[in-house]
Amino acid sequence: MILKVSKSADPIWKKKFANVSKMTPEISKLIADMEETLEFSGGVGLAAPQVGTPWRLFIVSVPQFHRRYKTLKAVKETFINPKIRFLTKEANIFDEGCLSIPGYRGPVSRPKELEIEYLNKKFEKKKIVATGFLARVIQHESDHLNSIFYTQRVAKKEEIYKFEPIRIVFFGTPQFSEIILKSIIGLSIFGEYEIPLVVTRADKKVGRNKILTMSPVKKLAASFSIKVETPQTLKDNQTLIKTLKEIKPDLIILASYGKLLPKEILEIPKFGSLNVHPSLLPKYRGASPIQTAVSRGEKETGVTIMLMNEKLDEGDILSQGLVPIDTTDTYLSLSKKLALATTKLLNQTTFAWVTKQIKAVAQNPKKATYTKLLKKGDGFIDWKKPPENLEKMIRAFYPWPGVWSKLKVNKKELIIKLLPERKVQLEGKSPVSLEDFKRGHPDFTLDW
């Protein structure tokens, strides 16, 4: 359940917040609801008093940055009854905002390194050392447990400034895009963004019954009464260009829209157009980076947020996020993980880019690799001569285009689909385990 976030003037901040003595169903539900609220808001931290409960606990979902690009290894943790010890007096200054004080920002100096003792949501005792951005978020949320806001940490009160909502036009289509759009909508509700328009593909006829179906992005936007356009073409589309110019967006954000944006559209936003690409560019440019990473047995992949130009995935990089690939990941599961990782990175990158706190870095073209647009035929295999990476290919191509072959049954050639978790599905039948299928079809000797 998405919880209401308390504002800085609410009565909750006059209370004294208590330690959690034991993990109860009430506390477990609170943490789960806080996690859902934080994901929806696109924020990086949330304290229990911010959702109206007087407990000494907070949660974080923080991208860890390192090296040349801002590279993300998401830290998701619950901190119950935290105790902080600073390990250095060295500090840095960074603009902070807060869901409880929407629309404002201010520079806050905080120590770079700390040690924190706490209980996690399993009520296990933990101790970690936190540096950089994670240390900052921990300090920000810990302050809330003492009814302190970042505005009280700003050295000169005149440096607190009103931050006008960023006007974003969003381009996207599938579930990957929907997850990212949802986090942008979340922050628009808290006054950080405005979304005057969403652009997605036209409704498509789906399934055997050819039911006209909205894209996931269109369905989500419609549920929040956001205006949606579904242009058939973009090049020389004067109607769309006129609409965009009238909107005067600060940014276009594109995530798996399915088409390249022409120059006349890219140049409309005040701060340019950003693209979310699900790989660590310049590796795996093109249309199928997730499938390629899984089918080749990569241990990790990531997301890249870059400035768009007219060429395919060649824009300058603003930030990158690292995401591990599990040995059971399919295209579907990894796509969702990448989208969820993107939400935190994108929101921070957007703010940092608009306020000129980061610079774009050119890609190294010598390291560029490319992926292709997949077609149904790319999933076909000769089951008598299977590829060496068959198991990885099955996961990579699930659910589309799928890995499939043909098998003669009673002198009739039927399509057989190879599915994750060692399952197969014969045309017209339900999926069964590979072992059960081979017992009924002993001539089918394929294994993986």
Mean pLDDT along residues 60-74: 56
* pLDDT tens-place string over residues 286-330: 999 999 999 999 999 999 999 999 999 999 999 998 999 999 999
Altogether, the residues listed in the chain come to a count of: 448
- For residue 45, pLDDT over 90 is answered with yes
Residues 160-182 have a mean pLDDT of 95
Give the per-residue pLDDT at 16. Answer: 93
Domain spanning 164-371, CATH architecture? 3-Layer(aba) Sandwich (3.40)
Segment 383-412 mean pLDDT = 95
Report d(CA 33, CA 350) in Å as an integer: 26
- The pLDDT of residue 150 is 97
| Dist CA 257 CA 249 (whole Å) | 18
Mention every residue, 6+ apart, whose C-beta is less than 8 A from residue 5: 37, 41, 46, 50, 51, 99, 100, 190
User: Which residue, among 197, 172, 205, 329, has the nearest Cα to 268 in the 3D structure?
Assistant: 197
Residue 67 banded pLDDT, cuts 50, 70, 90 = very low
pLDDT of residue 63: 67
pLDDT digits (tens, 9 = 90+) for 174-220: 999 999 999 999 999 888 899 999 999 999 888 777 888 999 999 99
11-161 homologous superfamily: Peptide deformylase (3.90.45.10)
Interacting residues of 240 by C-beta distance below 8 A, sequence separation 6+: 199, 229, 231, 234, 265
How far apart (Å, rounded) are the C-alpha atoms in residues 225 and 332?
28
Statement: residue 233 has pLDDT above 90 = yes
Q: Is the pLDDT reported for residue 74 higher than 80? A: no
Please state, in angstroms and rounded to a whole number, the distance separating the CA atoms of residues 72 and 237. Answer: 37
Q: For the domain 376-440, what is the CATH code?
A: 3.10.25.10
Q: In whole angstroms, what is the distance from residue 340 CA to residue 183 CA?
A: 9
Cα 192-198-199 angle, rounded to 5 deg: 150
341 vs 334 pLDDT, higher one: 334
Q: Taking 60 as the threshold, does the pLDDT of residue 66 lie above it?
A: no
pLDDT at position 100 over 50? yes
Q: What is the pLDDT of residue 269?
A: 98
Query: Which of 317, 345, 346, 349 is CA-nearest to residue 68?
Result: 317
pLDDT of 41 > 90? The answer is no
What pLDDT band is residue 397 in, cutting at 50, 70 and 90?
A: very high
Domain residue ranges in the chain: 11-161, 164-371, 376-440
pLDDT over threshold 80, residue 42:
no
* Calpha distance 428→401 (Å, rounded): 18
pLDDT band at 261 (very low <50, low <70, confident <90, very high): very high
Is the omega angle on the peptide bond into residue 282 within 30 degrees of 0, that is, cis?
yes
